[in-house]
């Protein structure tokens, strides 16, 4: 069972201050609208102040009791027969109960008033007096129905506000959970890159230490720059293309040491697009993927080209000359890049083969600090 909000508790506590005077005024309005020619309206100007005072007090008590009875039925049926489950049954049952309860209340009231003020004079009741009595009963029933309508309207308003708040809270919670999951997935994907990159360079460094110590120092320096870049950007999801290209320059030096002129990497990217965003280490992974799966020799050099096409997409292309034997896959490569772009922007790279050239087109992202 849900707890009532502070606003509902405040409404339940102070509703009498507003509803009972409103019902009092409403009684006179309805009575006049039902029969503006009643003898009742002619007697009011002739009544004394004491009579008027007694009349007002009695009528206020009647309005208060009708209000309490109406709200009692409404609250009881909110638990027994809620609107959400049985709307038609609830409407019919509440209407019948209110009409019957008003008749019973007025019958008891007539007995009480007779006991307090004495029985009525035993004179024949005229048609107009009988009509006034029925009009009084009708007005009391209408007041009871209107009170229930106000309660029901407030009930639906509070339920609507609660459902809207709950929906907003659930939406916010879902967004937070989605962001947490996205960050965790990005973190996992980025952490997978380190061993894939490092293992391809340790054997080269070991050979240089034996044959060329100066070259080994230079290689190690660039390798440390590359690895420092990866550590610094580990917690970043998007960086500027300018930062990625600086990293690639250091990485190209490592490629040249490992493969010499067998791998030709050409970069042709306009300066004005370097402030766009890209997931870190994307270009390194694409270059490494091209070298891993293609022959790179003096007789068959591998050409890798980085440029921006007509659609403002960053394209990484290489000539296809696949290695004739299978290389065990680490299951990173293109799937890794595809997942990262999908998580960050709901866009995926375009992968195609055109005229013996393998191309990967990457959407450039809006970079925000």
Q: Kindly tell me if the per-residue pLDDT of 276 is higher than 90.
A: yes
Q: Is the dihedral of CA 355, 357, 358, 359 positive or negative?
A: negative
Tokens of 9: 């508790």
Torsion angle of C-alpha atoms 228, 296, 364, 242, degrees rounded to 10: 40
What's the confidence (pLDDT) of residue 3?
46
Q: Is 81:89 a contact under the CB 8 Å cutoff?
A: yes
What b/e sequence results for 223-245 when a residue is b if at least 16 CB atoms lie within 10 Å of its CB, and e otherwise? bebbeebbeebeeebbbbbbbbe
The CA distance from 105 to 116, in Å, is 16
Tell which wins on pLDDT, 259 or 118. Answer: 259
Strands (E), the chain: 239-240, 263-268, 277-278, 302-308, 313-319, 350-354, 357-363
Structural domains of the chain sorted by starting position, each given as residue range(s) with its CATH number in brackets: 6-176 (no CATH), 192-363 (3.30.565.10)
Indicate the range of 133-142, 259-268, 276-285, 339-348 predicted with least confidence.
133-142
What is the C-alpha to C-alpha distance for residues 14 and 142, in angstroms, rounded to an integer? 23
Residue 266 has pLDDT above 80, yes or no: yes
pLDDT digits (tens, 9 = 90+) for 141-174: 777 777 777 777 777 777 788 888 888 888 877 7
Count of Cβ atoms closer than 10 Å to residue 85 Cβ: 8
Q: Which two tokens stand for residue 293?
A: 């799966």
Q: Rounded CA gap, 232 and 250, in Å?
A: 15
Q: What are phi and psi of 67, to 5 degrees?
A: -60, -45
Q: What pLDDT band is residue 338 in, cutting at 50, 70 and 90?
A: confident
Which one-letter DSSP state was computed for residue 311?
Answer: T
Mode of pairing for the β-strands spanning 263-268 and 302-308: parallel
How far CA 84 is from CA of 78, 80, 90, 167, in Å, comes to: 10, 12, 9, 18
Least confident of 109-113, 218-222, 304-308: 109-113
Residue showing tokens 């019958």: 107
Q: Which residue has the higher pLDDT, 119 or 285?
A: 285
Q: In angstroms, rounded to a whole number, what is the distance separating the alpha carbons of residues 137 and 99?
A: 10
Top mean pLDDT of 72-81, 95-104, 177-186, 346-355 is at 346-355
Alpha-carbon distances, residue 100 vs 31, 107, 140 (angstroms)? 20, 11, 12
- 305-332 pLDDT tens trace: 999 998 999 999 999 998 887 555 555 5
Phi, psi angles (nearest 5°) of residue 85: -95, -45
Mean of all residue pLDDT scores within the chain: 77
88/71 Cα distance (integer angstroms): 19
- Residue 257 has a pLDDT of 84
pTM summary value: 0.51
Mean pLDDT of 89-109: 79
């Amino acid at each position: 069972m849900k707890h009532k909000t502070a606003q509902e508790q405040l409404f339940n506590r102070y509703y009498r201050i507003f509803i009972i005077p409103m019902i009092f005024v409403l009684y006179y309005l309805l009575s006049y609208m039902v029969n503006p020619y009643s003898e009742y309206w002619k007697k009011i100007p002739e009544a004394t102040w004491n009579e008027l005072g007694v009349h007002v007090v009695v009528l206020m008590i009647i309005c208060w009791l009708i209000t309490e009875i109406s709200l009692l039925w409404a609250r009881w049926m909110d638990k027994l027969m809620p609107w959400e489950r049985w709307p038609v049954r609830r409407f019919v049952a509440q209407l019948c109960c209110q009409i019957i309860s008003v008749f019973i209340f007025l019958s008891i009231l007539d007995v009480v008033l007779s006991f307090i003020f004495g029985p009525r004079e035993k004179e024949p009741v005229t048609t107009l007096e009988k009509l006034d009595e029925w009009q009084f009963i009708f007005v009391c029933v209408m007041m009871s129905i209107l009170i229930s309508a106000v309660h029901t309207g407030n009930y639906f308003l509070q339920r609507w506000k609660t459902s809207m708040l709950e929906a907003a809270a659930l939406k916010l919670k879902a967004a937070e959970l989605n962001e947490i999951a996205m960050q965790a997935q990005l973190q996992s994907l980025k952490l997978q890159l380190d061993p894939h990159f490092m293992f391809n360079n340790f054997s080269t460094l070991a050979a240089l230490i034996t044959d060329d110590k100066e070259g080994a120092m230079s290689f190690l320096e660039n390798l440390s720059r590359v690895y420092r870049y990866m550590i610094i950007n580990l917690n970043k999801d998007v960086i500027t293309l300018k930062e990625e290209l600086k990293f690639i320059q250091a990485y190209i030096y490592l490629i040249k040491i490992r493969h010499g002129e067998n791998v030709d990497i050409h970069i042709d990217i306009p300066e004005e697009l370097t402030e766009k965003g890209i997931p870190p280490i994307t270009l390194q992974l694409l270059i490494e993927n091209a070298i891993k799966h293609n022959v790179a020799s003096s007789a068959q050099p591998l050409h890798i080209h980085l440029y921006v096409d007509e659609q403002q997409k960053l394209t990484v292309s290489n000539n296809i000359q696949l290695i004739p034997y299978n290389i065990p896959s680490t299951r990173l490569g293109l799937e890794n890049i595809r997942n990262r772009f999908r998580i960050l922007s709901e866009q995926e790279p375009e992968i195609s083969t055109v005229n013996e050239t393998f191309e990967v087109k990457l959407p450039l992202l809006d970079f925000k600090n």
